[in-house]
Structure 1
């Protein structure tokens, strides 16, 4: 993999991750007459929940479901100018033009005088990751080699963003499907560099500390060991990864994928783990697409350790992927209504054991490696 970096017309960074050397793509000029990027976000604290909420009013003007011939994530070709100046690419990462969080290019606004408002600037980093130049593809269509290149990009960005003083957590994720809220159909994901550990990460880190105090063990290691011992909810195991439907799954079809050797973040996976991940991740995405007649809308969310001011990750935290779909049956979605949205009290219509059985049945070969996905818990 070869990495090269350039700048877009408004000063944002763009990074190409190429599978062949000397492409020269980072030198392609951005010919658009863009004004300098000047995003301005604000964080406000909810005192009842002790959570931060991001206000990013400038995102109201972001691109929304353009026609295929106007997609800003396609390569630039001829007079059709896009966010990617090169005429082709393998994997490319660039700063979001409409970021929720960004290192301010303009002075921060004066603190509000409203006594109910506790606020600070919405500093951080938001990037887009384009998985392929093929507008009609999806991640599940990628080759293992291309999936491996995406993993290298995730690892690179995790390491670089974790070192930024304004970043406390790095979150790579992909939304797919209009049901999820996707506004661009080109196969892509995002990476958020949060200035605070998001609530889910904060809760898991606190649970891991309590588990260590009470048992002397690591929460993530012990949870995966218990699921492997039960067997019935294991979807697939490879030499380096274990995929399970959690016993208390919130979503109708939800998988958590753990490395068998725990690490806090993607950048700390070794070469064998990354190779194996490319295959097992593709197999899981393809299994989700086989569950229903139409491709599954899904969210693929990488949970990584929060980092301290020096960029050091919490060593108790275990990297893992949460992959889930909103679809509970053909033509039916799981809506977050009063119980979930109002109270965060989840109600699941499908048993995790049945979901795991269906996913195992939908799972094809794991590209690039062998796997054991027998129904051990049913034997």
Structure 2
């Protein structure tokens, strides 16, 4: 097996993907770690070497990437090893070290969505990028290494096994929105956006924020639709924050279409709080990690009822 600085391994058994980036170990300063950084030492606070000027929303090239466009290993090996080619950025939506998405102005959230759409469109101008994925994690369960609110965008040279290409024909997400309404899983809906508990939830209170109009990517949407999605995402996060859970932990996944550009793909935002209905943390176990089979103690209709009440209480 060749030994490039960064490479991607694909399992012949499960098609699972592992990115090996040994050069990344030890590069990031330890003082930036979660719980150790303060406003004076945080690399993402205004006035730092990274961000000397004030900002509201900003995108930065990741200084310690797992993937890079500067790779010297250019051909796949035996259909199971790929070069570690890719792109990676960090996004920030608040200059405040302690602010989170639920108390960030909607205008910042809308600006973030616009920025993510533009970045994804830019990634896909590189024909080697097959899938663009943006996400944010927060809280102790998911463990971001830097506490300042931020997320990442990856441009991958493959379509991961967890991303299923949608068939031609009627949109499955459009149909699921209709099913959520008839099955009692709908939390909120207006002319532009629906918010609902997915039938195959991975956590008891997972919600999807989905534009009603079919579009594969954010950058394809008009400004008023992006603003409506931002408002729904903001209200969703405020509803979750209103539970007052200690160490509020969540993952947000921004699901853009993979390459090839798929007309049947419907953009969505997946919000997955790592909490049970009683506020305790939800940890993922052997069935979920090894098999991708999620064990759920909560009926999705009960979760939707609870979240509808919270949603209605949020101004």
Considering the TM-score relative to the shorter chain, is it more than 0.5? Answer: yes
Three-state SS of the structure 2 residue aligned to 1:277 is helix
Instruction: Note if 1:327 corresponds to 2:279.
Output: no
- Give the unaligned 5+ runs of structure 1: 1-38, 368-379
**Which of 66, 88, 106 is the aligned partner of 1:100?**
66
Q: Which has the higher contact order (CA 8 A, sep 6+)?
A: 2
Give matches, 1:281-360, under 5 Å: 281-294=233-246, 296-308=248-260, 313-330=261-278, 332-360=280-308
Three-state SS of the structure 1 residue aligned to 2:188 is strand
Q: CA deviation at 1:109?
A: 8.6
2:232 equivalent in structure 1: 280
- Give the unaligned 5+ runs of structure 2: none
> What's the C-alpha RMSD, in Å, of the aligned pairs?
2.2
The count of aligned residue pairs is: 306
Instruction: Note if 1:242 corresponds to 2:199.
Output: no
Are the equivalent residues in 2 in contact too, given 1:51–1:199 (CA < 8 A)? yes
Instruction: Note if 1:220 corresponds to 2:191.
Output: no
Q: CA deviation at 1:294?
A: 2.8
Q: 1:173 to 1:111 in 2, by over 3 A?
A: closer
- What are the Cα deviations for residues 240-274 of structure 1, in whole angstroms up to 9, with x where unaligned? 11011012322111011111011011111111211
Q: 1:293 to 1:217 in 2, by over 3 A?
A: closer
Normalised TM-score (structure 1)? 0.75
Structure 1 CA distance for aligned equivalents of residues 151 and 117 of structure 2: 14
Q: CA deviation at 1:233?
A: 0.9
1:270 equivalent in structure 2: 222
Are the equivalent residues in 1 in contact too, given 2:239–2:314 (CA < 8 A)? no
Are the equivalent residues in 2 in contact too, given 1:129–1:188 (CA < 8 A)? yes
Three-state SS of the structure 1 residue aligned to 2:162 is helix
Q: CA deviation at 1:111?
A: 8.1
Three-state SS of the structure 2 residue aligned to 1:251 is coil
Structure 2 CA distance for aligned equivalents of residues 237 and 263 of structure 1: 17
Three-state SS of the structure 2 residue aligned to 1:200 is coil
Are the equivalent residues in 2 in contact too, given 1:282–1:366 (CA < 8 A)? no
Q: 1:365 to 1:268 in 2, by over 3 A?
A: farther
Three-state SS of the structure 2 residue aligned to 1:152 is helix
